[in-house]
Structure 1
C-alpha cells in the first residue's frame, strides 16, 4: 500500500508540474520546457500552508479546477496555433466548434463525428478531475509534512527569485517559469482587448469613402463586362513558393498562362495578406469584399449587420449587372447573403448536383463552373453578370480529389460516382504529412485548372476573372511561420481592363514571383473601385 501511495503522490506531482509548465504551442513541446521551476507551485504551497483546514481544502479544489481549465486552454491554443496561426479567443471562438463538428461530420461521417465529440468531452472532464485530485493530494501532503514543506518552499522561492534575477536558462528557456500566470494575464488582456476592439471596429465600419458615390460613378470602366470573383479554398503563398510543392504548381500556372494567352486572354498576379490562416474562409471573403480587416467572428457579425458597401453590392447598385453567387459550400440557411448584395444565391442544394460528396466538398469545382454556365452565364439576352464563386474542392482534408472532365460529360454530376469511389481515403492520406502536402497540391491544381478550362471553353471578349486564395492551408501543409499571403490573379480579354491597373505593377501571368507586390486584403476593394471608376486608368 505504501508503494501505491508513493506512486500516486509522484504521479500527482508530475501531473501538476507538467500542467504548470505546459506551453501553448506544439513547437514549444520540448524536454527543456518541463525542467524549469514554476512559480505558481511555490506560491500555491505557501498559500495552502498558511490557510486554516476548511479554507485550505476549498482553495486546493479551486486551484485544481483553475489549473485544469488553464491546461485545457493551453491545448486549445496549441490547436488554434497549428490550424489558424493564432491563440484561442475565449470570448469569440466558441462558434468555431460548431464548424469543427460540421467538418468532422462531412469528413468522417456522423457516427465518427459523434464519437470524436464524445471522446473530447470525456478527455476534458477526466483532465479536470485528475488535476483537481492531484492538487488536493499534494496540498494534504504539504500540510502533513509542514516541518519540511515550509523551509523547502522558502528555499524554492529564493532559488526562483535568484534565477529570475540573473536570467538563468535551460534549453534557451527561463529557468524561473511563470507560464500559468502569464496565460491568465494574456487571456484577461485578450478579453479586454476584444471588448475594446468591438467598439473601435464599429466606428471604423461607418467610415467608407465609397458609401455616397452615385451609382453612375461606380465601376464605369467595367460596364458591359461579365466579372467573376472566384475564391479558391486554401490557395496560399506556400503553394507557389514551398520547394516541396512549388515546382508542380508553378508548372501548372505557367501552362495555364500560356493556354489563356492562346485564347486571347492576358493575366497579372500579386499577393494579398489574408486576416486568417488555416481556416475561417468567410473572414477572408468578407475582408476582400468589404475593405475592412475582418479578423474575428465579432467583427464579421458587426460588418454583416451594417450598411457597409461591399464590392459585390457596388455592382448591384449600378443596375448595370445582375449579381449572383455560386456557393457550393453553403448547405443551410445563410442570412448574411443579403448583406453582399447578390440578386440570387445558388447554394449546394440549388446547383442540381446528383453526384457524391468529395469528403468535405459537397460539389466538385468543375461542376460548380458548369452549373454557373447552365444557370446564368449561358443564358441568352441577359444583363452582364457579376458573379461571386466559391470553389471548395481544395478544402481540407484534400482527398479524394475530382478529375477534370470534358464539359459535355459532366451532366448532373452522377459521373463523379466512380471517380469518388476510386479516389484516396482521407484517413489514409492523413497518416503521412508528405501525402497530405501532395494531395493539397493536387487539389489546388484541380481548382485552378477548373477555372482556366472554363475560361477557355466559355470565356469571351467581355470576360473578366479575378481569382484568389482565401487563406493559407494549415500548418500541417505549410509548417510554422509560413505567413498569411495568398496569390491573386486578374484575367481579361480586353486590354483596357489591364491598362487600368498598370500602376499596380502586378506581374505578368498567373504566377506571382517572390518580388510581386503584397497588399493587405482589405486594401483591394478601394483600389479596385478606384481603378475601374471614372478617373481610374487615366494617363
Structure 2
C-alpha cells in the first residue's frame, strides 16, 4: 500500500486518469448488470435505459454513514452479482431448453450438462469448461461487490453532485414512465431488476404450488381401474413398438436448411414401406420439453400427463399412473421390454413404465466407438433389439419401448448406414467415427449444426424404417415420434415445441381405427395436420383401440 501511495504521489495525472477510468467502468458494470436481460435475444438499446434500482441505491448509499454504507454496498454488490449469474443461467437455459432456470428444480441438471460436455469435448475439455464456470461464479459477485463499493465511495465524497444527478435522472425516469418514452423500441425508464425479482419469487411460489396440485392430478387416471380385459382389445396379438427419435422436431420437417433432406427421406421411406406392405398416418404433438430433458417428453407421452419439469417427473414416476407399456403388460397378453442405449446407470423408472426387462447401454453388446453423447448408432441398437428380444420365440407378443439416440446434439460425428449383416459387434463404425466431423467444429456454428442435425434425423429415420422393412410382419405396429425440438441454435428462438408422430402397420384395421384423427397419410405430417398436446395421446390411443375408461383417484 505504501508503494501504491508513493506511486500516486509521483504520478498524480496518471493516477487520477486510472481512478476515473476504474470508477466509470465500475459504474457501467453496475448499470449493465441492472439492465441485463434474462433472454438470449438482446437489443443494444436496452443498455441506454435508466434503471430505477440504481437511483434508489444511490439515494440510500449516499445518505448512510461510512461503515453501514460499506456493509450495504458489499451485500448489495454480492446480491447484484448473484442476480447477474441467474440472468446468465436463464439465457443459457433459453438457448438449450427454451425456458428460464428454475432455482428450485434445475440444480440436478448440471450433472447431466457436465456428462454431456464430457462426452462431447472429452474429459480435459469438460474439466476446462467446469473450471471456467467455477471461476465465473466466483468472479462475477466479487467484481460486482467491488464495483458497488467503488461507486458508493465516490458518491459519498461528492454528495452534492450525486444528489443533483439523482434528482435529474429521477425526473427523467418519471417523465419517461408517464409518457412511455422509448429508445430504439426499448422503454427509457427501467425497473427490470425489480420485475425479475418479482417474477422469480412468483416462480418459486408457483413451483411449490404446482408440486402439490400435480400430486393430486397424478392420482387421477381415466383408465386407472380399467380391467385387463378392457385394455387395448383391438390390438391383441399385435407386436407393439413405441419408439422415440432423439430431437426429432417439427423444424426437421419444415426448416429450409434441414427440411429438403429430411422430407426426401420421409417420402422415400413411406414409399419403401408401402412396397413392403406397410402404411402410415402422421400428425403433430406438442412436447412438454424443448431442446433437452428427453425423459420429460417420454414420460408425458407414455403417461398422458403434462410432465414439464423435474419435480413432476419424480412425482409421476413414483406413482401408479398407467403408462402405455404398463397398459399392455397389465392385460397379461404382452411381454414388455425397454431398449435404452442412453441409460448408463441405474434406472428405477423401468418399474413405473411396466417393463419386464430393460437392455441398457452395457447390455446391447456394442464394442464400437461412441458418437459423441450417443453410446451407439441407431442401426446397431435396432439390430440388437431384433437379435436379443424381437426375434425370440415367446408365448405372447411383445410391447417394446425403444429410444434411439444418434440424433442427439451436437450432431457430430454422425453414423452412416452399413450392411445389416455387417454390423457384428459394432467395430465396423470405428472408421466412420474417426472420419466424421468433430463436435468442436460444429457446436457453436448454427449452419453446420443445422446441417448435421438434418443428416442425423435422416440417418435415424432410415435405420428405423429399414429395420421395419427387414423384420416387421403382418402383426407389427410401430408408433414413433420425436421427444422434443432441437435447441434454439438449430430450431430458432421462436420455434414451436411440435414434433412429428407416426403410426405404421400392415394390418389396415389398425389405421382404420384412427381414421377420424385427421392425420396425414405417410410418414410426413402435412403443415396443417392436427396439433395435439403430447399428453393427450395416451387417452386417444387407448380409446381408439377399444379401451374402456374406469377412472381411479380423485
Q: TM-score, normalised by structure 2?
A: 0.95
SS at match of 1:94: helix
- Please list every run of 5 or more consecutive structure 1 residues that lacks an aligned counterpart in the other structure: none
CA distance in 2, matches of 1:452, 1:382: 26
Counterpart for residue 138 of structure 2: 125
Q: In the TM superposition, what is the alpha-carbon distance from 1:384 to its structure 2 partner? A: 0.3
Counterpart for residue 394 of structure 1: 407
CA distance in 2, matches of 1:275, 1:186: 21
Q: Can you list the C-alpha shifts for 1:293-329, whole angstroms capped at 9, x where unaligned?
A: 0010010011111111111100111111110000000
Q: Does 1:85 align with 2:98?
A: yes
- Contact in 1 for aligned 2:226/2:548 (Cα 8 Å): no
Counterpart for residue 18 of structure 1: 32
Q: How does 1:53-72 map to 2 (within 5 A)?
A: 53-72=66-85
Q: Does 1:108 align with 2:121?
A: yes
CA distance in 2, matches of 1:86, 1:356: 33
47-56 or 169-178, which moves further after superposition?
47-56
Q: Can you list the C-alpha shifts for 1:70-123, whole angstroms capped at 9, x where unaligned?
A: 111111111111111111111111111111001001111112111111111101
Counterpart for residue 290 of structure 2: 277
Q: In the TM superposition, what is the alpha-carbon distance from 1:382 to its structure 2 partner? A: 4.3
Counterpart for residue 428 of structure 1: 441
Counterpart for residue 3 of structure 2: none
Q: In the TM superposition, what is the alpha-carbon distance from 1:410 to its structure 2 partner? A: 0.5
Counterpart for residue 154 of structure 1: 167
Greater than 4 Å deviation, 4+ residue runs:
none
1:472 to 477, 485, 489: 485
- Contact in 2 for aligned 1:48/1:59 (Cα 8 Å): yes
Q: How does 1:104-503 map to 2 (within 5 A)?
A: 104-503=117-516
- Contact in 2 for aligned 1:273/1:520 (Cα 8 Å): yes
Counterpart for residue 48 of structure 2: 35
Number of residue-to-residue matches in the alignment: 535
- Please list every run of 5 or more consecutive structure 2 residues that lacks an aligned counterpart in the other structure: 1-14, 550-554
425-434 or 66-75, which moves further after superposition?
425-434
1:4 to 10, 18, 25: 18
Q: Can you list the C-alpha shifts for 1:173-203, whole angstroms capped at 9, x where unaligned?
A: 1100111111111111100110010011111
SS at match of 1:332: coil
- Contact in 2 for aligned 1:229/1:387 (Cα 8 Å): yes
SS at match of 1:498: helix
Q: Can you list the C-alpha shifts for 1:319-377, whole angstroms capped at 9, x where unaligned?
A: 11110000000011111221111000000000011111001000110101001000111
RMSD over equivalenced CA pairs, Å: 1.1
SS at match of 1:267: strand
SS at match of 2:427: coil
Q: In the TM superposition, what is the alpha-carbon distance from 1:432 to its structure 2 partner? A: 2.7
SS at match of 2:526: coil
SS at match of 1:415: helix
CA distance in 2, matches of 1:535, 1:4: 78
- Contact in 1 for aligned 2:258/2:453 (Cα 8 Å): no
- Contact in 2 for aligned 1:272/1:486 (Cα 8 Å): yes
CA distance in 2, matches of 1:199, 1:192: 11
CA distance in 2, matches of 1:430, 1:73: 23
